[in-house]
């Protein structure tokens, strides 16, 4: 990244082509431990990463130390969810040219990959929220009606299942979220200060589990679920290291469901390991497919243990912005602009419309919470969500809707 001020400029550039870019920027969570210290560079395919940094999964710590000594790398951080270390190369980071930095970092990557002490090496990719925000109670929540949530509630309410929202934080004092938070964590400060000054995480949390039948505001997909609020940061960027720390914390707090309304390009072994660990500990992991109208794989959605969610409109059409591909599992309401968007909670006790695959993912997370409350295993929950989805588009699974559009009532056995 280009020094600290330029980190924000890179975030601005990343929003180009998205509707309501300015508001989207305001909703971007940030990187861990303050802003990343390097520049933000981009690979030819568009994936962005922290210049001069690599994530190294190792077999032998002493062997890794020797390999780093030979390549000029130093350990910046050890990641908790896998045998991986964040390695920085100061001599690469200080180069003025992005092309030169990329070439040198690729050379370091190849050199480390040749060491028998090293199992895998990847860039420290950036992850960004995947929403198309727009401006401005149950009557406005067409998404809940579309997935037949009210009928599902006659059979399942969530039973205290825990849904972790890894995002820009959650406004715990919101009237529709007050009393719903079971735990809070800030991956930057390592404290419980997980408030949301941007709104993205609060909006996502409301879709998943806002209070219901309390005579105010909106209803959540899983009324009986509790929320684990994980603030990945607050200055505009998310890195793989932020996400790994957040997932590991959620695992430790016994999350039944982990919602990731964020993403970006580039496979990351430590990120994949963290998600695999969450799955092996029994969590359902749900992620947004992305808003680039592209078939290019978005991570973390494209990891095998993740339920990748594309977006639909009020008329069950595929949202024009939604990513697609054989890696998409299901679709859910993500909406369009204005009142065609998804209505949910915002900081300051407010409500408003946002749209995007970021909004689609928490509908799926909410239904996963309903099923977790029925004491189903994560593998059963995933199969139930996929097998009961309403088939749209070409018969059977297709790249746009996956197995189909989410059907909460069918999933919980109420239909």
pLDDT one-digit tens code per residue, 120-147: 999 999 887 765 423 237 889 999 999 9
Spell out where 112-269 has E strands: 118-129, 132-133, 162-167, 181-186, 226-231, 238-239, 257-260, 262-263
Question: If you average pLDDT over residues 9-33, what whole number do you get?
Answer: 31
Question: Taking a C-beta distance cutoff of 8 angstroms, is the pair 41, 51 a contact?
Answer: yes
115 vs 254: CA distance, rounded Å: 36
| Report for 134-148, 175-189, 243-257: range of highest mean pLDDT | 243-257
Q: What is the pLDDT of residue 40?
A: 81
Domains 3-126 and 129-412 share a fold: no
Listed residue (57, 63, 53, 60) closest to 31, CA to CA: 53
pLDDT for 44: 82
Give the pLDDT band (50/70/90) at residue 48: confident
Per CATH, the number for 3-126 is: 3.30.70.80
Mean pLDDT of the chain: 88
pLDDT category at 176 given cuts 50, 70, 90 is very high
Active-site residue list: 167, 200, 358
Please name the residues in contact with 86: beta carbons below 8 A apart, sequence gap of 6 or more: 53, 54, 55, 75, 76, 77, 78, 79, 124, 241
pLDDT of residue 33: 33
Q: What is the pLDDT of residue 38?
A: 63
Query: How would residue 23 be classed by pLDDT, with cut points 50, 70 and 90?
Result: very low
Stretch 347-359: mean pLDDT, rounded? 97
Q: What is the pLDDT at residue 81?
A: 72
Q: Does the pLDDT value for residue 251 go beyond 90?
A: yes
pLDDT tens per residue across span 211-238: 998 888 999 999 999 999 999 976 768 8
Range with lowest mean pLDDT among 73-82, 164-173, 271-280, 328-337: 73-82
215 Cβ contact partners less than 8 Å away, ≥ 6 residues apart: none
pLDDT of 236: 67
Most confident of 14-28, 33-47, 68-82, 398-412: 398-412
Rounded mean pLDDT of 302-320?
Answer: 98
Phi, psi at 373, each rounded to 5°: -65, -15
Q: What is the largest CA-CA distance in the chain?
A: 65
Quote the pLDDT of residue 203: 98
Which of residues 292 and 12 earns the better pLDDT score? 292
| 10 pLDDT higher than 70 | no
| Strands 284-288 and 306-312, sheet pairing | parallel
The model's pLDDT over 290-309, given as tens digits with 9 standing for 90+, comes to: 999 999 999 999 999 999 99
Query: Within 10 Å of residue 91's Cβ, how many Cβ atoms?
Result: 12
Domain ranges of the chain: 3-126, 129-412
pLDDT band at 383 (very low <50, low <70, confident <90, very high): very high
Q: Is the pLDDT of residue 22 over 80?
A: no
CATH, domain 129-412, list 3.90.470.20, 3.40.50.200, 3.40.630.30, 3.30.1330.30: 3.40.50.200
Q: What is the pLDDT of residue 20?
A: 35
The pLDDT, as a whole number, for residue 26 is 31
């Amino acid at each position: 990244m280009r020094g600290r001020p330029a980190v924000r400029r890179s975030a601005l550039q990343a929003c180009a082509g998205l509707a309501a870019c300015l508001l989207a920027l305001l909703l971007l969570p940030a990187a861990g431990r303050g802003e990343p210290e390097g520049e933000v560079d981009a690979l030819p395919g568009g994936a962005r990463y922290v210049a001069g940094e690599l994530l190294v999964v190792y077999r032998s710590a002493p062997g890794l130390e020797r390999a780093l000594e030979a390549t000029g790398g130093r350990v910046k951080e050890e990641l908790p969810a896998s045998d991986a270390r964040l390695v920085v190369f100061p001599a690469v980071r200080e180069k003025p040219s992005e092309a030169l930095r990329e070439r040198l970092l690729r050379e370091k990557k190849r050199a480390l990959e040749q060491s028998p002490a090293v199992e895998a090496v990847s860039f420290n990719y950036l992850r960004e929220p995947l929403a198309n925000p727009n401006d401005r109670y149950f009557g406005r929540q067409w998404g809940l009606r579309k997935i037949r949530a009210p009928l599902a509630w006659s059979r399942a309410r969530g039973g205290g299942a825990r849904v972790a929202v890894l995002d820009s934080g959650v406004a715990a004092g919101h009237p529709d979220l007050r009393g719903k938070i079971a735990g809070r964590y800030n991956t930057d400060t390592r404290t419980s200060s997980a408030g949301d000054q941007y709104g993205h995480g609060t909006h996502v949390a409301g879709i998943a589990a806002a209070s219901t039948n309390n005579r105010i505001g909106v209803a959540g997909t899983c009324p009986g679920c509790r929320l684990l609020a994980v603030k990945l940061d607050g200055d505009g960027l998310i890195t793989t290291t932020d996400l790994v720390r957040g997932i590991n914390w959620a695992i430790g707090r016994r999350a039944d469901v982990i919602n990731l309304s964020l993403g970006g390009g580039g496979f990351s072994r430590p990120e994949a390991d963290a998600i695999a660990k969450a799955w092996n500990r029994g969590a359902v992991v749900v992620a947004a497919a992305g808003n680039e109208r592209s078939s290019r794989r978005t991570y973390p959605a494209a990891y095998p243990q993740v339920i990748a969610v594309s977006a639909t409109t009020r008329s069950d059409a595929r949202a024009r912005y939604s990513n697609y591909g054989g890696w998409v599992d299901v679709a859910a309401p993500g909406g369009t602009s204005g009142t065609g968007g998804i209505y949910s909670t915002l900081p300051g006790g407010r409500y408003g419309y946002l749209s995007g695959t970021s909004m689609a993912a928490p509908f799926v997370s909410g239904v996963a919470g309903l099923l977790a409350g029925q004491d189903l295993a994560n593998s059963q929950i995933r199969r139930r969500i996929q097998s009961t989805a309403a088939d749209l588009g070409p018969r059977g699974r297709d790249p746009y809707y996956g197995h189909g559009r989410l059907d909460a009532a069918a999933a919980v056995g109420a239909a």
